[in-house]
Structure formats: C-alpha cells, structure tokens
C-alpha cells in the first residue's frame, strides 16, 4: 500500500524512522561512558542496517517477495558455512546457490536483473549486519546498541527517503501506515523473538527462522497475488534445506569438539529485526 505512494526508499525511511523512535523511547539507551571504538562499531551497525533495508526494499519493488527473501537469506547462510570451518559444510552453500539459480529459470517468471542485484546486495549487508550486531551486543547493554544503531540508520536514510518520496511522505495517512509497518515488522517481532529465545533452544529457533523463504512465498501468493511454479517451490526447498543443514552441522561440530554451542549467524534474534 505504501510503495505506490512513497516508493521503496520512502518506505525504508518511514520504517526505520518510526522503529528508531519506538526503540529509543522503550530502551532509553545510555550515551555516556563508551569509547571511540564502541561508537565506531554501532555507527557501522546502523549503516549496515540502513543499507540492508534499502537494498531489500529496492529488490522487493522489482522481484517477487519469495524470490527476494530466498536470495537474501544466502547472506547468513554463507556466513554460517564460513564460520563452521569445514570443507563439507560448503555442500550446503552449493545446495543453496543451486536453489537460487533455479529461481531464474522461470520459477517466478523472468526476474528483473537489477532487482536480483539488489537482493544479493541485501544478502551481503545482512551478513555484515550479523557480525556488527554481535560486536554491538558485546559493547552495549540490553538492546541499547540496536536502538542507537536504528537511530543512526534512520538519520542516514531519512533525507534520501524524503527526497525520493516527496511531499506524499508527510501525509497523515502515509505516516500512520509507516508507523504501523514499523511496529508490526520490527518492534513486535523483535520482542517475540527475544521471548522465543528464552523458551526454546537456539538451534530450534534457527531452524524455524530458516523457513523464512517459504513464509515469504506464501505471503506473496496469498496477499500479493504473486505466482509460483513447481520449479520455484523446489528452489525454495533447496535453500531451506541448506539453511537447516548448515545450522545442524555447526551445532554438531561444537558438540564433538567439546566447545560451547556456537551462536551461528542464523541464531541471532536481532538478525530478523529488519523484517
């Protein structure tokens, strides 16, 4: 409903702007007592957050929802494979890329080339977001770092979004819809993820989150009227299987080595706060 009125970047500006306001009001993060290195980390985190959302919505404007999310999930998947440090784990990466390759073979119709580039860019930014999220979590208490990073991302994207959207972004109806998107896509899901992570094992959480491409495809079919072929369903199943396999391999390696269970890239509740 917002894309025709304000465009992808205007949508990102509304979402990050209202998300930042909500998180800052809830968390009231402390700003004193941090070193320059801490601030550099949280600023980079905010830039990654803004870039990830901007590229994701630009891709979403050109590529079906299921295909966009399937490509984007390659970011945390490949990062999980790399951090496992086992050659065998690359089989999961190959399986995932095979699934993504199938997406371009008529499974969603002919995918827009620029939209695919944006989706891959969002995947790279998601991997960077994960790494910076972990570092920020170690340097800032509670979710103060996320609140500050969200504010940084909003400050960066707001001028671009306002210029891109024009006067329409200030209409009361548009502002109300933007606030609703921020609440429903960031604030509430993030709170639910934190509750879930306290009640179920992180590996179980990761496997459930690996189903994101399937859920996104279902949303595209039911809510947006986007079509899907049998080839598309197979492609998404391959990526989901690869994600689950990568998580389970990382967990098994840690148990065999007698190390604490790793927090793999797909184990972060914060990784999905942009959705």
- Give the model confidence (pLDDT) of 131-158 as tens digits: 888 888 888 887 888 889 999 999 999 9
pTM, two decimal places: 0.77
Q: What is the pLDDT of residue 152?
A: 95
Structural domain contains residue 102: yes
Residue 275 lies in a domain: no
Q: Using 50, 70 and 90 to split pLDDT, how confident is the model at 126?
A: confident
How buried is 175 (Cβ within 10 angstroms: 0-12 exposed, 13-18 middle, 19+ buried)?
A: middle
Q: Identify the pLDDT of residue 113.
A: 86
Q: Quote the domain boundaries for residue 139.
A: 3-268
Place of tokens 């770092």: 145
Q: Rounded to an integer, what distance in angstroms lies between the CA atom of residue 177 and that of residue 15?
A: 9
Are 213 and 69 in contact by the 8 Å Cβ rule? The answer is yes
Residue 262 lies in a domain: yes
| Beta-bridge partners for 109 | 107
Q: How many helices (H) does the chain have, and how many strands (E)?
A: 12, 0
Using alpha carbons, list the distances in angstroms from residue 211 to 39, 80, 124: 34, 16, 19
Q: In this structure, what token pair is assigned to residue 244?
A: 């689950």
The pLDDT of 62-81, averaged and rounded, is 81
DSSP state of 107: B
Q: What is the rounded CA–CA span in Å between residue 272 and residue 246? A: 18
Q: How far is CA 196 from CA 127, 203, 244, 245, 250, in A?
A: 22, 12, 18, 21, 21
268: CB partners within 8 A, 6+ apart: 130, 133, 134
| Cβ-contact 119, 93 below 8 angstroms | no
**Confidence at residue 271, expressed as pLDDT on a 0 to 100 scale:** 44
Work out how many domains the chain is built from and give that number. 1
Within-domain flag for 274? no
Specify if 273 maps to a domain.
Answer: no
**Averaged pLDDT, 90-103:** 75
| DSSP H helices in the chain | 3-27, 36-60, 65-72, 74-84, 90-103, 113-139, 144-165, 172-182, 188-199, 202-209, 212-223, 230-257
Q: Is residue 104 part of a domain?
A: yes
Is residue 33 in a domain? yes
């Amino acid at each position: 409903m917002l894309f025709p009125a304000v465009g992808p970047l205007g949508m990102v500006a509304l979402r990050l702007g209202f998300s930042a306001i909500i998180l800052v009001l809830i968390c009231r993060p402390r700003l004193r007592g941090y070193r320059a290195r801490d601030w550099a980390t949280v600023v980079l985190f905010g830039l990654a957050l803004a870039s990830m959302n901007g590229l994701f919505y630009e891709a979403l404007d050109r590529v079906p929802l299921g295909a966009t999310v399937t490509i984007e999930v390659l970011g945390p998947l490949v990062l999980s494979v790399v951090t496992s440090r086992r050659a065998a784990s690359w089989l999961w990466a190959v399986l995932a890329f095979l699934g993504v390759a199938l997406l371009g073979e008529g499974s969603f119709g002919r995918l827009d080339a620029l939209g695919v580039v944006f989706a891959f860019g969002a995947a790279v930014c998601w991997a960077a977001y994960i790494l910076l999220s972990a570092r920020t979590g170690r340097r800032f208490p509670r979710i103060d770092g996320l609140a500050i990073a969200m504010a940084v991302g909003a400050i960066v994207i707001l001028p671009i979004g306002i210029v891109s959207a024009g006067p329409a972004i200030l209409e009361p109806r548009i502002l109300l819809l933007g606030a609703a998107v921020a609440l429903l896509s960031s604030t509430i899901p993030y709170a639910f993820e934190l509750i879930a992570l306290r009640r179920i094992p992180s590996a179980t959480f990761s496997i459930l989150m690996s189903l994101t491409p399937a859920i996104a495809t279902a949303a595209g079919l039911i809510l947006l009227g986007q079509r899907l072929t049998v080839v598309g369903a197979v492609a998404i199943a391959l990526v989901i299987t690869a994600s689950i396999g990568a998580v389970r391999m990382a967990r098994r390696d840690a148990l065999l080595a007698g190390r604490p269970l790793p927090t793999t890239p797909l184990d972060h509740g914060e990784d999905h706060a942009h959705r």
